[in-house]
C-alpha cells in the first residue's frame, strides 16, 4: 500500500513539473511503460498473500487511471501554451482592409471630370424645389398628362403664390431655369448633379436616384453640338468602341427631343439578351424649348441651346452590366467591394 502511494506521488510530481511536451513524452514510458515501477508492482501481485492481493490490485489500477488523467490534462495545457507563445513566421499576414468610394460617387466624379474637359462646370440646385422650377417653367402646366410620368412626391408645406407647391425634385431639369436666372447672359455650360425622387421601384428604378443634367446655351448652338458632346462623353465613359444614336422622342421642355441610345457593351451592337437589338437607352435630351428660355429671361431669337438629363445609376448599370440597380443601395459589402 505504502509503495503504491509513494510511487503515485512521485509520478504526479514528475508530470506536473514537466516544462515542455518533449519532457512529458519521455515520462510516459517511464511511468506507464512495460518496465515501469507501476508495471513491476502489478507483476508482483501474485507474490502477495491472497487476502491483500485484491485490494492491492484495485489500488494499482486506480493509481494508473488517475495518473493517466493527470498526464492528459498536463499535455493539453502544454499544447495550448505552445500555440500561444510560438510565432509562425510563415503564416500569411493580416491585411489592413481599405474602403473605397461608393460606385455612385465614383461615377459622379468621373462624369464631372469628363464634362469639365468640355467646359461644363458643376452647379448645385435644390433637391426640394418649387413646382415652378420642376414643372411650370419647363413648359409643363398643372394637370398636363405628361406630368404623370414623373410620379412626383409633393411636400406637405404652404404653397407659394408664384412658385406653387414644393416637391422632392423628380429630375434635375429644375436646375435649367435656375441656372439661366443665375448666369443671366449666356454662354451657359452647366452640369447639375442631384438626388431625385419618384414613386417607382423595380429592377431599373429606385425611389431615390441620381441624375446629371447638362445645359448649354449660346449663340448658334445646333444639334451637331449636342451629338458631338454625347459622342465625346460616351467614348470617354463607356469606351472608344461605343457609339450613340438619337431617337426622336417628346419632352415638353425641348424641341426637337431625343432619346439617346448607346451601343451595347456586351454584343457591340449586334443584339443580345441584355439589349435585344444592340442599343441601350441612356436618357432624354433635346434643343431647349423657346418657352423655357423665356422662363429664364433669355431671348430665344438670339440664343439656342441643348439639354440632357440622364440617370447615374442607369449609366453605371450600362457600364458594368448590372442586372438590378437596387443592388447599389443594399449596402452588401460582397457586392460593393467588387468595384
Ligand atoms: N428630365 C427628363 C427626365 O427626367 C430627362 C430630360 C429629357 C432632361 C430631355 C433634359 C432633356 O434636359 O432635354 O426624364
Q: What are the extents of the domains in the chain?
A: 2-85, 103-127+167-336
Q: Can you give the pLDDT at residue 1? A: 57
Q: Can you give the pLDDT at residue 46? A: 84
Q: Relative to the CA of 215, which ligand 1 atom is closest? A: 12
285 lines ligand 1 (CB under 6 A): yes
Within 152-287, residue ranges assigned H as helices are 174-183, 223-238
* Mutate which of 259, 284, 305 for ligand 1 pocket (most atoms within 8 A of beta carbon): 284
Q: How far is the CA of 218 from the centre of ligand 1 (A)?
A: 19
The parts of the chain modelled with pLDDT lower than 70 are 1-2, 83-85
* Mutate which of 225, 227, 246, 251 for ligand 1 pocket (most atoms within 8 A of beta carbon): 251
254 lines ligand 1 (CB under 6 A): yes
173 lines ligand 1 (CB under 6 A): yes
* Mutate which of 152, 204, 248, 285 for ligand 1 pocket (most atoms within 8 A of beta carbon): 285
Q: Relative to the CA of 283, which ligand 1 atom is closest? A: 5
Q: Can you give the pLDDT at residue 325? A: 94
Q: Can you give the pLDDT at residue 81? A: 78
Cβ(175)–Cβ(197) below 8 Å: no
Q: Can you give the pLDDT at residue 65? A: 93
Claim: this prediction has a pTM higher than 0.85:
no
Q: How far is the CA of 276 from the centre of ligand 1 (A)?
A: 24
175 lines ligand 1 (CB under 6 A): no
The CATH code of domain 103-127+167-336 reads: 3.30.930.10
Q: Can you give the pLDDT at residue 47? A: 86
For the record, the C-alpha cell of 267 comes out as: 454584343
* Residues forming beta bridges with residue 166, ordered by sequence position: 130, 155
* Bridge pairing between strands 304-311 and 208-218: antiparallel
164-180 b/e (C-beta count within 10 Å ≥ 16 → b): bbbbbbbbbbbbbbbbb
309 lines ligand 1 (CB under 6 A): yes
User: How far is the CA of 68 from the CAs of 8, 28, 36, 43, in angstroms?
Assistant: 11, 9, 14, 19
91 membership: H or E segment, kind and range: none
Q: What are phi and psi of 279, to 5 degrees?
A: -125, 145
Q: How many other C-beta atoms lie within 10 A of the C-beta of residue 104?
A: 17
213 lines ligand 1 (CB under 6 A): yes
CA gap 300, 254 in Å, rounded: 13
289 lines ligand 1 (CB under 6 A): no
251 lines ligand 1 (CB under 6 A): yes
Q: How far is the CA of 234 from the centre of ligand 1 (A)?
A: 17
Q: Can you give the pLDDT at residue 235? A: 97
- Could you identify the residue written with the cell 431625385? 196
Cβ(171)–Cβ(150) below 8 Å: yes
Contacts made by residues 3-7, CB under 8 angstroms, sequence distance 24+: 3/41, 4/41, 4/56, 4/59, 4/60, 4/63, 7/37, 7/38, 7/41, 7/63
Q: Relative to the CA of 172, which ligand 1 atom is closest? A: 1
Amino acid at each position: 500500500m505504502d509503495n503504491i502511494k509513494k510511487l503515485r506521488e512521485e509520478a504526479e510530481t514528475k508530470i506536473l513539473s514537466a516544462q515542455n511536451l518533449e519532457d512529458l513524452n519521455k515520462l510516459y514510458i517511464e511511468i506507464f511503460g512495460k518496465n515501469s515501477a507501476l508495471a513491476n508492482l502489478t507483476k508482483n501481485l501474485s507474490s502477495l498473500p491472497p487476502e491483500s492481493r485484491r485490494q492491492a490490485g484495485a489500488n494499482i489500477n486506480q493509481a494508473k487511471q488517475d495518473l493517466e488523467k493527470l498526464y492528459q490534462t498536463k499535455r493539453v495545457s502544454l499544447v495550448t501554451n505552445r500555440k500561444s507563445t510560438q510565432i509562425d513566421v510563415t503564416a500569411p499576414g493580416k491585411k489592413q482592409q481599405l474602403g473605397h468610394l461608393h460606385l455612385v460617387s465614383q461615377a459622379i466624379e468621373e462624369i464631372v471630370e469628363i464634362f469639365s474637359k468640355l467646359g461644363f462646370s458643376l452647379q448645385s440646385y435644390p433637391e426640394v424645389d418649387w413646382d415652378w422650377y420642376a414643372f411650370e417653367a419647363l413648359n409643363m402646366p398643372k394637370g398636363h398628362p405628361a406630368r404623370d410620368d414623373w410620379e412626383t412626391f409633393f411636400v406637405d408645406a404652404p404653397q407659394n403664390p408664384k412658385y406653387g407647391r414644393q416637391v422632392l425634385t423628380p429630375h434635375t431639369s429644375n436646375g435649367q431655369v435656375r441656372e439661366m436666372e443665375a448666369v443671366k447672359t449666356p454662354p451657359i455650360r452647366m452640369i447639375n448633379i442631384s438626388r431625385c425622387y419618384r414613386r417607382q421601384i423595380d429592377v431599373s428604378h429606385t425611389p431615390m436616384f441620381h441624375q446629371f443634367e447638362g445645359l448649354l446655351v449660346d449663340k448658334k448652338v445646333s444639334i451637331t453640338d449636342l451629338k458631338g458632346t454625347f459622342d465625346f462623353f460616351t467614348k470617354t465613359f463607356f469606351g472608344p468602341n461605343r457609339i450613340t444614336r438619337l431617337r426622336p422622342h417628346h419632352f415638353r421642355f425641348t424641341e426637337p427631343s431625343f432619346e439617346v441610345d448607346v451601343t451595347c457593351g456586351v454584343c457591340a451592337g449586334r443584339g443580345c439578351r441584355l439589349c435585344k437589338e444592340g442599343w441601350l437607352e441612356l436618357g432624354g435630351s433635346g434643343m431647349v424649348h423657346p418657352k423655357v428660355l423665356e422662363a429664364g429671361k433669355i431671348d430665344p431669337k438670339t440664343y439656342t441651346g441643348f439639354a440632357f438629363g440622364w440617370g447615374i445609376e442607369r449609366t453605371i448599370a450600362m457600364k458594368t452590366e448590372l442586372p438590378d440597380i437596387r443592388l447599389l443601395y443594399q449596402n452588401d459589402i460582397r457586392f460593393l467591394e467588387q468595384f
